Structure 1
């Protein structure tokens, strides 16, 4: 198993920052050398030197020549200072040009992906209709041929194996998912235009997307595209996140915990080891994320875990652990960690679930000057990134770190003061949903792992040594136990960017720990 590290102390963004730092140093040297030049030039008009010119004109003339050469000559101080400052300008221009080209390429790729998706969306309804008729005709023809019914029966009988082969193919070719997710905003809009055209001609093709999206479509802007989807769903009673945040109450940590066997569906009870609730590594962070899931029974309303550490000098730090999506129905329910919150978060909206995380932090007594690390898997990571990008939230809490796994966070404008560690699996479609790569900055370390099918056996300390065999494909590549394994690779990494990140985060992984959990419900 291996990982790839992007960004951070060893990334291109850090090198761009180094270029600008060097430019600042050269600017300072240029100013200093210019001051030296002025001081040296001042000797030429010094009173003593001028008086000496009467008695020793030749000697003084030689001194004046040396002073002139040292200040404005070809190798003089003024020329040297100008060279320093010119180099500084070139370094700054190089960094700015690289970043401009990089951003322009990103915008071009988004535009091309949206255009391609729109074109596919326009053609999709016709392709589906024509393909369906073709499949029906082909199926009838096959049934009428000798041996055809046996072949159809064999395909039906082995449909699970065929599906597994399809998932294996997608697992082995994750670029298919990445291309599709980049095209998705345009594809949805193009499909809506096509359906509108089929129903009402050209006028319908223009009016349907505009009416469904509340005037947001057509658009090439990602947030507007998602906002239009929310508006379209709202016309059918979906994606409603209006109202007030619900209640928050502390959970008594039990002696035993229950989790559901993914194969049998049976609920299993195991001893609950409280010592495991104070993570001291990246691996532990995601084991705790799994723990939040395994404690969730069908009646659970979602829990936020807060680890408060007290250090020998009396200071305290906090790790806030936010779970991922637990309800996938598009209608709002009691559990705020749901699909509705997901789409609102990706549209850049303020959400009730984010408000309830803040309510849990207030209930836990987190003070305004106490360092905070926000962590989350999947939706939990989206919430963490959205809070870290919110200046009002940062005005209340000293957010110093964000750790995410399997979360699409590239579109959140997290400031340089917050250190970000983002874990992503190449076969996991969820981090691709924002259609953009994470930024390459000194404060953002992205860990990518290509998960081989042979690495899909996972277990945790919580399951008493029991191992689960995951299936190749996007769903199991998103499993937070698999992200815990990736976290272990991060913990042992010798990459300078990872090591620098870990050194900066030590305060969150050491000290006496107190763990609390908070139920969050909708009203």
Structure 2
């Protein structure tokens, strides 16, 4: 079964970009109004121009007609002064329209969060009613139409994950602890200790004979790092992209997803569940610290060349979350690609271009109970590919790699603009480009011997 129904939102061709166009049109219109008013002001001087007044001695009737015509042209109902005022009002109207659209979007998102919160409160205060109502209907559907296979039902209805996650703060609040989703994440993150990152180089710096040429190549590289083999303990790598003259044009960091699932209070690795929770709560993590150290060793801080972070699942969460800190520490992060990652509530600097690829039947991108922002720098490509299992729908190879291949051929303006902007990472010379693999561990937990 191949991927289908690829759709793109956000980015250069998205709604928010059009909002920005409204603001730009408003500013431009305001500039035109100002220029028109200046022209009108300049025109008034001709009404008292000495040469014009002197000519009235020779042709008084002509001067009167001239003065009258100028007055109408400048200050009449359709004159420059009135026109300037009208243009100015139009500019302000365009700016107000943008604000109104943005407020409507924000209120809609907050209204959805509030609705889920109250639904959770209702379930917690009347669990019997919830079971007899919606829960009973779902259970009936599962057993009648899915032979009792809850996983298959869930991947067919991934939006239920958004609903359940969104309801959780209301359910907790019913216990007398009023929280929203952000506070819930903070509380959960506090149960997972983080720690100190220990970074180890794996094998010597080697030639990267197959540097990426497009989005599918980027996801193929991520897939290789996600499953490196028994003899390769690396969990991130840095690809040093160089041109034919050996000059560094960019760095690509591959960040795979979750490998360990410890209970609260426990830690296992730099790729465990606690890192997911911490990153989604907006906290720094050992994996983020490891990425920064790997980039430092690869020379990214010294060259200042553009950096792209490519992450799957947890890797995408950490990639998006780390952009602000990495830039603050002198790393020129310009691009992020996430695959199957819940990054809708993560803020990213406005000049960092983010492409998020999501399988609609993958439940993991739904874990933040939020749609991705529709910003000029936030492009989201969704597609259909239902294998019937959560692991199959979340896999990189044959799933997200295929979607990336489709995006390489896409004519969508947002995707096309993203591809055009990432040339620093896709034009590497195979004889010059290099790769360094790293193992990021928690100090004292899973360090290499």
TM-score by length of 1: 0.75
In structure 2, do the counterparts of structure 1 residues 102 and 126 end up closer, same or farther at CA, with 3 Å as the change threshold? closer
Q: CA deviation at 1:503?
A: 0.7
3-state SS, counterpart of residue 441 of structure 1: coil
Q: Is the 8 A contact 1:302 1:323 kept in 2?
A: no
Instruction: Name the structure 2 match of 1:53.
Output: 56
Q: Is the 8 A contact 2:205 2:434 kept in 1?
A: no
Q: Is the 8 A contact 2:162 2:368 kept in 1?
A: no
Instruction: Name the structure 2 match of 1:400.
Output: 334
Q: Is the 8 A contact 1:324 1:380 kept in 2?
A: yes
In 2: Cα distance, 1:182 partner to 1:334 partner: 28
Q: Is the 8 A contact 1:302 1:335 kept in 2?
A: no
Whether 1:112 aligns to 2:64 is no
Whether 1:375 aligns to 2:310 is yes
Cα deviation 1:301-320 (Å, max 9, x = unaligned) = 65211111123574521111
Instruction: Name the structure 1 match of 2:238.
Output: 306
Q: Is the 8 A contact 2:262 2:268 kept in 1?
A: no
Of 395, 411, 426 in structure 2, the residue corresponding to residue 509 of structure 1 is: 426
Unpaired runs of at least 5, structure 2: 132-142, 444-449
Q: CA deviation at 1:180?
A: 2.0
Q: Is the 8 A contact 2:216 2:404 kept in 1?
A: yes
Q: Is the 8 A contact 2:15 2:374 kept in 1?
A: yes
Q: CA deviation at 1:83?
A: 1.7
In 1: Cα distance, 2:327 partner to 2:376 partner: 22
Of 331, 340, 361 in structure 1, the residue corresponding to residue 295 of structure 2 is: 361
Q: Is the 8 A contact 2:284 2:322 kept in 1?
A: no
Q: Is the 8 A contact 2:337 2:356 kept in 1?
A: yes
In 2: Cα distance, 1:476 partner to 1:181 partner: 22
In 2: Cα distance, 1:304 partner to 1:384 partner: 12
Instruction: Name the structure 2 match of 1:460.
Output: none
Give runs of aligned pairs for residues 391-470 of structure 1, distance below 5 A: 393-451=327-385, 453=386, 456=387
Q: CA deviation at 1:327?
A: 1.1
Of 413, 420, 429 in structure 2, the residue corresponding to residue 496 of structure 1 is: 413
3-state SS, counterpart of residue 337 of structure 2: strand
Instruction: Name the structure 2 match of 1:266.
Output: none
3-state SS, counterpart of residue 58 of structure 1: helix
Q: Is the 8 A contact 2:317 2:341 kept in 1?
A: yes
In structure 2, do the counterparts of structure 1 residues 55 and 315 end up closer, same or farther at CA, with 3 Å as the change threshold? farther
Of 8, 15, 18 in structure 2, the residue corresponding to residue 15 of structure 1 is: 18
Q: Is the 8 A contact 2:295 2:301 kept in 1?
A: no
Unpaired runs of at least 5, structure 1: 129-157, 194-205, 207-216, 255-272, 457-471
In structure 2, do the counterparts of structure 1 residues 230 and 110 end up closer, same or farther at CA, with 3 Å as the change threshold? same
3-state SS, counterpart of residue 434 of structure 1: coil
Q: CA deviation at 1:48?
A: 0.5
| Bigger radius of gyration | 1
Instruction: Name the structure 2 match of 1:219.
Output: 179
Q: CA deviation at 1:223?
A: 2.2
Q: CA deviation at 1:38?
A: 1.6
3-state SS, counterpart of residue 3 of structure 1: strand
Cα deviation 1:41-87 (Å, max 9, x = unaligned) = 11111110111123322111111111111111122111221122111
**How many residue pairs align between the two structures?**
421
Q: CA deviation at 1:434?
A: 1.2
Q: Is the 8 A contact 2:212 2:428 kept in 1?
A: no
3-state SS, counterpart of residue 327 of structure 1: coil
In structure 2, do the counterparts of structure 1 residues 250 and 343 end up closer, same or farther at CA, with 3 Å as the change threshold? same
Across the aligned residues of Structure 1 and Structure 2, the Cα RMSD in angstroms comes to 2.5
In 2: Cα distance, 1:303 partner to 1:74 partner: 72
Cα deviation 1:296-344 (Å, max 9, x = unaligned) = 54x9765211111123574521111111111112365452011011111
Q: CA deviation at 1:361?
A: 0.9
Of 159, 164, 168 in structure 2, the residue corresponding to residue 184 of structure 1 is: 168
Instruction: Name the structure 2 match of 1:469.
Output: none
Q: CA deviation at 1:491?
A: 0.8
Q: CA deviation at 1:395?
A: 4.4
In 1: Cα distance, 2:267 partner to 2:204 partner: 23
In 2: Cα distance, 1:181 partner to 1:283 partner: 31
In structure 2, do the counterparts of structure 1 residues 127 and 399 end up closer, same or farther at CA, with 3 Å as the change threshold? same
Instruction: Name the structure 1 match of 2:250.
Output: 317
Whether 1:171 aligns to 2:155 is yes
Q: Is the 8 A contact 1:400 1:419 kept in 2?
A: yes
Q: Is the 8 A contact 2:253 2:309 kept in 1?
A: yes
Report which stretch shifted further, 420-429 or 305-314: 305-314
